[in-house]
Amino acid sequence: MSQSWDALKDHQAAVDGRSILDLFADGRRAEEFSASVDGMIFDYAKTNIDRRGRALLVELATRAGVAEKRDAMFAGAKINETEGRAVLHTALRNMDTSLVVDGQDVAGPLRDTYARMRRFAEDVRTGRFTGQGGKITDVVNIGIGGSDLGPAMAVLALAPFHDGPRCHFISNVDGAHAADILRGLNPETTLVIVASKTFTTIETMTNAETVRAWMARAVAEPATQFAAVSTAADKTAAFGIASERVFGFEDWVGGRYSMWGPIGLSLMLAVGPDDFAEFLRGGASMDAHFRTAPFAENLPVLLALVGIWHNQFCGYATRAVLPYDQRLSRLPAYLQQLEMESNGKRVAMDGSDLPYHSGPVVWGEPGTNGQHAFYQLIHQGTRVVPCEFLVAKRGHEPDLAHQHLLLVANCLAQSEALLRGRSLAQATEIMAKKGLTGAELERQARHRVFPGNRPSTTLAYEQLTPFVLGQIIALYEHRVFVEGAILGLNSYDQWGVELGKELALALQPVLEGKAGTEGKDGSTAQLAAWFRS
């Protein structure tokens, strides 16, 4: 792989600073540097990747064994080597296919759990499950990280399809979060889902106890209105949750990849089992495309190769995810975890130091709001920030089609502005027409120069439906896989979250006055003393 890496470094150095706009001169650029599947198009023509660059990137992926590693993942091999686990979130959306893991076919148990989820969701949605106060009107999902970000994002994204109870999410251990979510809810008509695989996650279980105490003030047996997404049957039973309302998932489903199964229960309650099935179908469609399409036409591979080009070869340390779709407003936060927890590593699979940077900083907000916030830096700042735009051809509000047209116009205009920029000559002409002359003309014109030549991609789709949302999430999941495979790291562990947890547990008794600050650095000891006082 080092030969491909060196060739790409040389190629990037040779084309650095080249005008991306000039690449469109032959008239075929846009068609050649886009790919599509099932009504979705990915356009990466507004990048500095040319035919040779793409060929070298594809060769890099081939030499890195992306195809072989992909096939191993889908076959149930234990590609999460540091934890000795398979990586099979894809099985949650492909349950009709037999899949043997450790000598057992896991598809049957997955179908059984899914069928139980469907029955429970229908019981809640139709009112057969009443709790102690009549039909359930609200659902509160308590989780954190992958047990919260995915379903919270998806529930918001599919708001036009809601025909079930209202869904709310509590994640932060800050008591303000629980207090604000519970305010205005009726305990008697609220179902609570506690989502924690081990049922020991400190933030989640602290919030669960808080919500149970809130419910106990109005409900004689509060645990009867709790469900759990957990594999710790003994702990859920001790909490008082009946086994028929406990839904588990295997250790080969990572938290940030888990909303296709029981972690997605809140989404199923909101949109119904049929639309949830469409969400799964969209993910399965992207799986099939990822497994069969040639790399040069493969959306997850191309998205990953663009990311590798920008981060590892161009040296762009961040990327902005910019959905021009208000209902995808939580997508950047979801992708922050998916990408940064997966590929934010410093060692290779064998434990050696990575010889290059790993994953980039992922951030963003929906358009057009971001245009009036941070786009100033994107257009005129000193750092280049590759942008990833997402936009639908049509919205869900036909009577507001004129607003959607304006939204799309803004999305396309921003990527065009990043590409074209505005030269000093153009800016000078604009300001001269306003009557400026001499030094003041030059000064004012320089403030209105846009460097341009800044890369972006656009992912466009017909409409944000459950199927399309499934496509988008699976696309980004596989993008993470490909980038991790090329970089030679493990995308499926997250040891970086452990140290802070351990230190927090040690600091709690210090803040309670039950332990001293021996062994703490001066800053931590001083702050702990200030809070304790």
Residue 260: phi and psi, rounded to 5, are -75, -15
Instruction: Identify which of 304, 306, 294, 313 has the alpha carbon closest to the alpha carbon of residue 342.
Output: 304
d(CA 493, CA 498): 11
Question: What's the length of the chain?
Answer: 533
The sign of the CA dihedral 269, 274, 279, 283 is positive
d(CA 147, CA 153): 11
CB 359 within 8 A of CB 483: yes
d(CA 491, CA 480): 7
Report in angstroms the alpha-carbon separations of 380 from 19, 307, 409: 17, 22, 21
Residue 252: count of CB within 10 angstroms of its CB: 21
Strands (E), 38-158: 40-43, 100-101, 104-105, 138-142
Between helices 51-63 and 2-15, what is the axis angle to 10°?
Answer: 160
Query: What SS3 state is found at 74?
Result: helix
Q: DSSP letters of 396-419?
A: S-GGGHHHHHHHHHHHHHHHHHHH
Rg (CA), the chain: 25
Sheet holding 138-142: strands in order across? 166-170, 138-142, 190-195, 226-229, 246-247
Residue 451: phi and psi, rounded to 5, are -55, -35
Q: Which residues does the annotation mark as catalytic?
A: 341, 372, 501
Query: What SS3 state is found at 442?
Result: helix
